[in-house]
């Protein structure tokens, strides 16, 4: 936690598309918190497809160095992906997660007005391991007498499972229900998923944790049944923790429960750095029209601040966003409203 620091340095990487429209809104919301955040300082940084077409590099070294050496945290917008594979281009967000060792992807999914939406009451957090599993991308392709044969290998380590598990327990412990569900498929993959499951389970009784997670209840779900139950009875979930691939799928599935992508925030967190990032992409279909929903980015800022220990500031941002959604007077077209990004931002600022 850096909550005791005298100033908070925040890197801003709007990158491409609507990122350039929604990240400034998140910045304005943080500034509006006033003394809840001691002296926020913003540092503008570049990355993304446009940066690549201009300079030949999608993630300049300078951006990484400044994040590492000068910033406490960052907000990342979205990147456009080229429609075909381009030599030399790879996603800067994937590279940033690696370079800053942001091993956890944390995505809360909350329905604010279930009675209005006629949707189930969802209030859960997906905690996804972000560095290993099938995403180590160790693939081989060989020719055999019977045709081609492709293989991928999957890495699960005790170290990565323990640190993601620790973060999941911490999150669960800070919530009213204190309930953690471990997602796996150890009936089929007993070695890899078995290690993940046992390691996460073991965290509760680690001597180093000194009983602080005694109040957290643990459940388990096989990933297939977890998806089924997520759609049937999402209210049974509080915090879900999963290896990379299952977490990827579950977090998108959960997002579908609350309507617009324009509402869902995330953070990429490590031991030394946290980066807020709205879940949506660059939304080329609405880019430049001034109608992108800024709420996912404002919520990402809240999540980032919460992770750093600025609980009051985070609460005020979340409350302001929720009031604007409930009142329904200022909403962007993705939520069936007619307001612009700027009008929604102003509504949030007035609530703050």
Out of 36, 129, 193, 334, name the contact with ligand ATP by CB under 6 A: 334
258 binds ligand ATP (CB under 6 A): no
Calpha distance 9→308 (Å, rounded): 12
Cβ proximity to ligand ATP: between 78 and 181 the closer is 78
80 binds ligand ATP (CB under 6 A): yes
Beta-bridge mates of residue 96:
none
299 binds ligand ATP (CB under 6 A): no
- Site map (CB under 5 A) of Mg ion, residues 264-283, x = contact: -----------------x--
Q: In the complex, what is the shortest distance from the CB of residue 76 to Mg ion, in angstroms, rounded to a whole number?
A: 15
266 binds ligand ATP (CB under 6 A): no
Q: In the complex, what is the shortest distance from the CB of residue 345 to ligand ATP, in angstroms, rounded to a whole number?
A: 12
Beta-bridge mates of residue 274:
73, 269
- What single-letter DSSP state applies at residue 329? S
Cβ proximity to ligand ATP: between 185 and 280 the closer is 280
Cβ proximity to ligand ATP: between 161 and 282 the closer is 282
Measured CA angle at 254 (ends 245, 281), to 5 deg: 75
Out of 10, 49, 51, 78, name the contact with ligand ATP by CB under 6 A: 78
What is the per-residue burial (b if ≥16 Cβ within 10 Å, else e) of 51-78? bbeeeebbbbeebbebbeeebbbbbbbb
344 binds ligand ATP (CB under 6 A): no
Q: In the complex, what is the shortest distance from the CB of residue 297 to ligand ATP, in angstroms, rounded to a whole number?
A: 8
* Strand 274-276 with 239-242, pairing: unpaired
81 binds ligand ATP (CB under 6 A): yes
Calpha distance 155→165 (Å, rounded): 16
Per the CB < 8 A criterion, the answer to whether 231 and 257 are in contact is yes
The window from 157-165, 176-184, 231-239, 284-292 that contacts ligand ATP (CB under 6 A) reads 284-292
91 binds ligand ATP (CB under 6 A): no
Beta-bridge mates of residue 239:
125, 180
Residue 197 has phi, psi (to 5 degrees) of: -65, -45
Cβ proximity to Mg ion: between 252 and 343 the closer is 252
- What single-letter DSSP state applies at residue 330? S
Q: Is the dihedral of CA 281, 286, 288, 290 positive or negative?
A: negative
Coil vs helix vs strand at 236: helix
Q: In the complex, what is the shortest distance from the CB of residue 20 to Mg ion, in angstroms, rounded to a whole number?
A: 16
Residues lying near Mg ion in the complex (CB under 5 A) are found at 281
**Residues that bind ligand ATP in the complex, under the rule CB under 6 A:** 18, 22, 78, 80-81, 261-262, 280-286, 292-293, 296, 332, 334
């Amino acid at each position: 936690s850096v909550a005791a620091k005298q100033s908070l340095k925040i890197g801003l990487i709007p990158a491409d598309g609507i990122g350039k429209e929604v990240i400034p809104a998140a910045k304005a919301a943080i500034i509006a918190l006033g003394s809840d955040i001691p002296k926020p300082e913003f540092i503008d940084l570049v990355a993304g497809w446009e940066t690549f077409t201009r300079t030949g590099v999608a993630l300049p070294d300078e951006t990484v160095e400044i994040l590492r050496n000068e910033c406490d945290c960052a907000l990342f917008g979205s990147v456009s992906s080229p429609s075909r594979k381009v030599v030399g281009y790879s996603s800067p967000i994937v590279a940033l997660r690696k370079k800053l060792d942001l091993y956890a992807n944390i995505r809360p999914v909350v329905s604010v007005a279930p009675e209005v939406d006629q949707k189930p009451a969802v209030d859960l957090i997906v905690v996804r391991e972000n560095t290993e599993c099938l995403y180590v991308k160790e693939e081989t392709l060989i020719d055999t007498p019977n045709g081609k044969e492709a293989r991928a290998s999957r890495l699960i380590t005790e170290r990565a499972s323990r640190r993601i598990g620790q973060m999941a327990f911490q999150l669960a412990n800070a919530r009213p229900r204190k309930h953690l569900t471990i997602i796996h498929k150890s009936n089929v993959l007993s070695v890899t998923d078995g290690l993940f499951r046992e390691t996460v389970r073991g965290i509760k009784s680690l001597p180093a944790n000194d009983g602080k997670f005694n109040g957290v209840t643990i459940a388990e779900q096989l990933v297939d049944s977890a998806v089924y139950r997520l759609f049937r009875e999402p209210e049974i979930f509080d915090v879900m923790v999963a290896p990379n691939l299952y977490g990827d799928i579950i977090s998108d599935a959960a997002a579908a429960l609350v309507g617009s992508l324009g509402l869902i925030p995330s953070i990429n967190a490590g031991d030394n750095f946290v980066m807020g990032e709205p879940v949506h992409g660059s939304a080329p279909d609405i880019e430049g029209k001034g109608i992108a929903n800024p709420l996912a980015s404002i919520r990402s800022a809240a999540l980032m601040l919460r992770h750093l220990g600025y609980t009051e500031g985070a609460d005020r941002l979340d409350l302001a966003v929720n009031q604007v959604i409930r009142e329904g007077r200022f909403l962007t077209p993705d939520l069936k409203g007619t307001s612009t990004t700027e009008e929604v931002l102003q509504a949030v600022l007035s609530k703050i």
